[in-house]
Structure 1
């Protein structure tokens, strides 16, 4: 016997939010989608309707997270409702991840991060992929796993919420760099070298911020890094690629379908790295490129001209 359908709320009607809504409907859930430009009021979106609301999935751009969290605090939200963050980014004011903002606003609600190598257009075509539902609350992670898991959308669980989130966030900066590499037609060797050298940079930052090393070698780390850095479907990759073609950043972002979170993340990451005295050479060049301080060619030259050293740092 199939389980009774549940009412699932998606906050965010963009590309990723729409894909998650489709996945929920495919599982037989009653799905309500709220967006800032839609007609459905926020309070009506989260109100129980024809059954319980086991989870609210937040799939909005990073810039809107803090404001939406404040708005939700003014509404009656059951402490049993699982909050699922599907946003990848860092807050420019607090340097916090989305789930950290949500957890601070709703400390009594279970908090889950959903992240992995998930290109929306491929999922919409019914192509197979896998993702991670991460939470310190194992039952909440399992509940989200069951909400979305299907034949073509395999969901794994993880207890490292922060590491899972940071893997999906930090790789967006690398995707911009790889887009530049491909836009300049530097070849597969250069792309492979760049992605490989970017991984320890991600691990260094991610573990310093509280993630576990092994998480960054899983689906939400290395898996997401490979998907985002090797596909023109990635918005962050497209930013780098088009910068290498000579287009201005403002023009690229104006015509991009959705948000390239790597742009904001690069700026926040550099502030964080400077305060913590972390070496992030790839992110540094991406930051300089996005600020118009160097050309794409100069960014690549700066990375190639770094002093020679051992591949593996000495203990």
Structure 2
């Protein structure tokens, strides 16, 4: 199978490196200088400097070349941030089979990836690839499990054919809504958990935040048309646990730094990479509010990000909520 990965950030590069061990794979970088540097050094110096890329992986800055490589029978994988997903989907040829790695809600429209595709590029065979995955570990070939979600069963099978191997296990799902809600909301909840850990609130507090955060995620997902069982899977509970507790999580680091009293502006500059939870939090809350879904942890995170309260004040407000049935 011919595979083209569109986007040479950490995640796109890592997945392309794994795909190239089994299939002809081409990685597209928007910046010609970056593409040339990756091709020459066999490393992505900005995002994965310590990982040597396979010699079989081709690199290009020519989008037409990358699309031609995949052809009509291959697979396109969009690895841009959510902010770039709409533009990229609109540039793909009619009928192309495409999966995106983007997680979050689109700024302005508040759309999830499947909603963007339905609105901007309905001619595509489209789906999402998500799950608990740090790019560095995937690039190193450490065991990882992901889920390909689409209502197009053949597309899910293409993802399995393209990527399933000794260190990368691909499951399939017909619930892209649930998978995308999990991938978006877990970033916001990871900020909350980072703040709690940064204030040394303890493991009890961490467990409570993750568990009640999962309840929030599930409520929103069901309201948007997802299925309950999806949130107990890789893209729900799995991705939430990883992002909320893993030291490689950018969203968790944002929460830790906020707990130290750093400003959000400084944190984002020092981070140097996209933290989708920062950009998605307000949109998550807006969509939940419009649907009548209660998300108190998300509301608390938004309050801190907007400067309306400190992390400690947000925790106090959560703890002072009235007692209620867990279910």
The reply to whether TM is greater than 0.5 is yes
Q: Which runs of 5+ in 1 are unaligned?
A: 1-5
- Report the 3-state secondary structure (helix = DSSP H, G, I; strand = E; otherwise coil) of the residue aligned with 1:84: strand
Q: C-alpha separation between the residues in 1 aligned to 2:88 and 2:153?
A: 26
* Map of 1:45 onto structure 2: 66
Q: CA deviation at 1:257?
A: 4.3
- Give runs of ≥4 in structure 1 deviating > 3 Å: 36-39
CA distance in structure 2 between the aligned counterparts of 1:192 and 1:271, rounded to whole angstroms: 26
CA shift, 1:36, in A, is 4.8
Residue in 1 aligned with 2:49? none
Q: Which residue of 2 aligns with 1:7?
A: 2
- Residue 176 of structure 2 corresponds to residue 155 of structure 1: no
Choose the corresponding residue for 2:11, options 13, 16, 31: 16
Can you list the C-alpha shifts for 1:82-120, whole angstroms capped at 9, x where unaligned? Answer: 110110011122221123212333323211210001111
Q: Whole-Å Cα distance in 2 between the matches of residues 219 and 164 of structure 1?
A: 8
CA distance in 2, matches of 1:303, 1:124: 39
CA distance in 2, matches of 1:171, 1:237: 10
- RMSD of equivalent CA atoms: 1.7
Q: Assess, with a 3 A threshold, how the Cα gap between structure 1 residues 304 and 141 changes in structure 2: closer, same or farther.
A: same
> Any gaps of 5 or more consecutive residues in structure 2?
36-60
The change in CA–CA distance for 1:42 and 1:21 in structure 2 (over 3 A counts) is: same
Is this contact kept in 2: 1:110–1:137, CA < 8 A? Answer: yes
1:94-243 equivalences under 5 Å are 94-243=109-258
Contact 2:254 / 2:267 at 8 angstroms: preserved in 1?
Answer: yes
Note the alpha carbon deviations across 1:131-162, whole angstroms, 9 max, x for none: 10111111110111110111111000111111
Cα distance, 1:123 vs structure 2: 1.7
User: In 2, are the aligned partners of 1:16 and 1:59 still within 8 Å (CA)?
Assistant: yes
| Equivalent position of 1:3 in the other structure | none
State the Cα deviation string for residues 30-86 of structure 1 (Å, max 9, x = none). 32323256561322321237x76511111111112223334x06xxx151x211011
Distance in 2 (CA, whole Å) between partners of 1:193 and 1:43 is: 49
Bigger drift between 86-95 and 103-112 goes to 103-112
Q: Is the 8 A contact 2:3 2:23 kept in 1?
A: no
* Contact persistence 1:129–1:152 (CA under 8 A): yes
Give yes or no for contact 1:9–1:53 (8 Å, CA) kept in 2: no
Q: Secondary structure at the match of 1:122?
A: helix
Of 72, 97, 102 in structure 2, the residue corresponding to residue 82 of structure 1 is: 97
What residue number does 2:46 align with?
none
How many angstroms does 1:295 deviate by? 0.7
> Which residue does 1:65 correspond to in 2?
85
TM-score by length of 1: 0.91
The answer to whether the 8 A contact 2:304-2:310 is kept is yes
SS at match of 1:196: helix
The answer to whether the 8 Å contact 2:2/2:23 transfers is: no
| 2:280 aligned residue | 265
CA distance in 2, matches of 1:270, 1:52: 39
Q: Secondary structure at the match of 1:48?
A: helix
For residues 9 and 216 of structure 2, the distance between their equivalents in structure 1, rounded to whole angstroms, comes to: 30
In terms of mean alpha carbon deviation, does 120-129 or 285-294 score higher? 120-129
Range that drifts further, 181-190 or 39-48: 39-48
